[in-house]
Amino acid sequence: MTSQDVTGKKKADLKVVILGAANVGKTTLIHRYAKGVFSEHPNTLGASFTLKQWKNRNVAIWDTAGEERFQGLSNFYCRQAGAAILAYDVTERKSFEELKTRFTQLLAAAEPNRLAVVVGTKHDLVEEKGKAVEREEAVLLAKQLNPNISDYIPIFETSSLNGLGVTEVFETIFEKCLRFDAIATHLVNSTIDLSAQKKAGSNNSKNNCAC
């Protein structure tokens, strides 16, 4: 699925990393997009990646652990990221506060021109539990994190249960980061050594791939 350079390193054209507190639904979101189904997953330990091909381009989607003890690793997995998904649970205020206090700072390790997409998960639970974070607050955060973007606001509300907004999150990232004129700024220094990053973290699955 990935191509290789002369040194045998696997190449990805874009690295996307997902960040956010434990249990906001990061792994479920990636799985819903990659497999089209809603299913249960154990809490992520360290990180794992899913490889996705989009219009002949290779994308590595890195899932990270939300638990605080893995924060250092998450920082490591942000390196060379051309895009980051910052996920919070729309029904859990604390998860949005944690996004601002713990996770936005990790973006410093990503590419200078990285896209930061703010994603409010579990929208299907709003009717039952109520909404704890207004869309306008997420819009404000997305604007703060992407001061150079003026033509759209990278924010989505999603449900991995019913599929709301899931495809849009990923397709928007790919469209914005991999479109022809964005290649120069978002292309990940031409080579991401997936094997080296794989060695650095642990994972629930035996091949470090979430798929």
Partner from Mg ion, ligand GTP, none binding residue 122, C-beta < 5-8 Å depending on class: ligand GTP
Cβ–Cβ under 8 Å, residues 30 and 61:
yes
What is the smallest separation between the CB atom of 44 and Mg ion, expressed in angstroms? 3
Q: DSSP E strands: which ranges in 8-114?
A: 10-11, 14-19, 47-54, 57-64, 83-89
Angle among Cα 207, 36, 38 to the nearest 5 degrees reads 85
Nearer to ligand GTP, 125 or 182 (CB): 125
Contact flag: residue 176 with ligand GTP (CB under 6 A): no
Find the farthest-apart pair of alpha carbons in the chain and give their distance in angstroms, rounded. Answer: 54
Residues that bind Mg ion (CB under 5 A): 26-27, 44
- Site for ligand GTP, residues 119 to 148, rule: CB under 6 A: 121-122, 124-125
- Applying the rule CB under 6 A, the residues between 28 and 87 that interact with ligand GTP are 28, 40-41, 43-44, 65-67
Q: Which is nearer to ligand GTP, 58 or 104 (CB)?
A: 104
Q: Which is nearer to ligand GTP, 10 or 26 (CB)?
A: 26
Are 29 and 90 spatial neighbours (Cβ–Cβ below 8 Å)? no
**Can you tell me which of 9, 22, 109, 137 binds ligand GTP, judged by CB under 6 A?**
22
Strands 57-64 and 14-19: parallel
Give bridge partners of residue 88 from the DSSP assignment: 120
Nearest distance, CB of residue 43 and Mg ion, angstroms: 6
Is 24 an interacting residue with respect to ligand GTP (CB under 6 A)? yes
DSSP characters over 163-204:
-TTHHHHHHHHHHHHHSGGGHHHHS-SS---HHHHHHHS--S
Provide the binding-site residues for ligand GTP, judged by CB under 6 A. Answer: 20, 22-28, 40-41, 43-44, 65-67, 121-122, 124-125, 159-161
